[in-house]
Amino acid sequence: MSIDHRAAAVSDKIRPGQAFGALPIPDGVEALIIDASVGPLTAIHGIVPDGVSTKGTALFIPGFTGSKEDFYELFALLPGMGWDVWAYSQRGQGDSAAPKGIESYSREHTAADALEVAGIIADATGCDGIHLLGHSFGGLVAQATVIKDPQPFRSLTLMSSGPHGWPGRKADIRQRLLDSNGVDLWRLDNPDKADWPDDKLDRLQGFLRERSERTSTDQLIGAIDQLANVHDTTFEVKDTGLPVLVFHGVDDNWAWPQEWQRRMATLLGARYEIIPDAAHCPNGENPVPTAALLDDFWSKH
């Protein structure tokens, strides 16, 4: 395991894991398991190469239907810039622990997980503060996390995420999941391919199907309920005093109106940026300028 060996001896909550799914894990990125209170949460760690000075540590939280693998492209870039980067699949996502019951996926639970994971990473690495990034739904979790306790963090980054939800959001998906009798969301969205053999799907589609199979329906419904929550946390985030970056792709019209994200940034006094040639997932759609933006923002804080 390639955790900072100066601190590894005191970390009994991080152990080697296995790469999940068909997507190739980037060079210099290791698969890990973080033993949290909820159970094992799978993680990836991008290791700063020898000869490169470490600038700091960052933790990434994936979004709705997502997982840690969503950050592969960024993790292939950021360690070379000096950033020790970590991401985990949230409870119920992919191959992470998945407690039963929609009530297990409340904002309180998901924020508590993020805070615990940050503490475990800080203890293992000896870092002095973590830059926290949340993508989409993960941005809601990240906001709730810093509101719960801002002390472990140096900054907050909200990627393609907004200030609050609205009534009935994703209600159609929620009902389909409740009525599905255990059929996963990928198969509900791709009925013509539901029974295709693995070798008939390309690598990405094969990964998406496998991740969907492993993702908890309770987790998806719990996430939808969080996404529909109308409580605006903007001023609670501002009260933490953390520097904030808000950004999205130029064509991001998928989860939150761009004007909402821009207004949230203004109210927070946050830096606001738009990534070209990208939509809701600039981490994968245009990772080079996304990594450069993160490097610039984190380096200033």
The contacts found for 204-211 with CB under 8 angstroms, 24 or more apart, are 204/23, 206/21, 206/22, 207/21, 207/22, 207/23, 207/69, 209/184, 210/21, 210/22, 211/20, 211/21, 211/65, 211/67, 211/69, 211/93, 211/94, 211/186
What pLDDT shows up at residue 9? 34
DSSP-based helix, strand, coil % in the chain, nearest 5: 40, 20, 40
In angstroms, the CA 118 to CA 58 distance is 9
pLDDT digits (tens, 9 = 90+) for 17-26: 999 999 999 9
- What integer is the mean pLDDT of 102-126? 97
**C-alpha angle 177-19-92 in degrees, rounded to nearest 5:** 25
- What integer is the mean pLDDT of 24-44? 97
Model confidence band, residue 6 (pLDDT cutoffs 50, 70, 90): very low
pLDDT > 70? residue 205:
yes
| Cβ 209 vs Cβ 183: under 8 Å | no
- What integer is the mean pLDDT of 258-284? 98
What pLDDT shows up at residue 3? 47
- CA-nearest of 214, 237, 14 to 123 is 14
- What integer is the mean pLDDT of 271-279? 98
In angstroms, the CA 265 to CA 244 distance is 8
pLDDT > 60? residue 31:
yes
- What integer is the mean pLDDT of 243-269? 97
pLDDT > 90? residue 4:
no
> Among 9-13, 148-152, 159-163, 233-237, where is mean pLDDT lowest?
9-13
- Give me 157's structure tokens: 């980054």
pLDDT > 50? residue 10:
no
Q: How far is CA 100 from CA 61, 85, 104, in A?
A: 21, 30, 7
pLDDT > 70? residue 215:
yes
- Give me 253's structure tokens: 């019209």
What pLDDT shows up at residue 198? 85
- What integer is the mean pLDDT of 67-72? 98
In angstroms, the CA 294 to CA 56 distance is 12
Cite the beta strand spans of the chain per DSSP E. 14-16, 29-36, 39-46, 56-61, 83-88, 130-135, 153-159, 244-249, 271-275
pLDDT > 70? residue 14:
yes
pLDDT > 90? residue 7:
no
pLDDT digits (tens, 9 = 90+) for 161-170: 999 999 999 9
What pLDDT shows up at residue 254? 85
- Give me 93's structure tokens: 């996502």
Q: Are strands 14-16 and 271-275 parallel, antiparallel or unpaired?
A: unpaired
In angstroms, the CA 1 to CA 26 distance is 16
- Its pTM stands at 0.95
Quote the distance between the C-alpha of residue 295 and its chain's center.
Answer: 18
pLDDT digits (tens, 9 = 90+) for 128-155: 999 999 999 999 999 999 999 999 999 9
What pLDDT shows up at residue 168? 92
CB-CB neighbours of 226 under 10 Å: 20
What pLDDT shows up at residue 299? 98
What pLDDT shows up at residue 75? 98
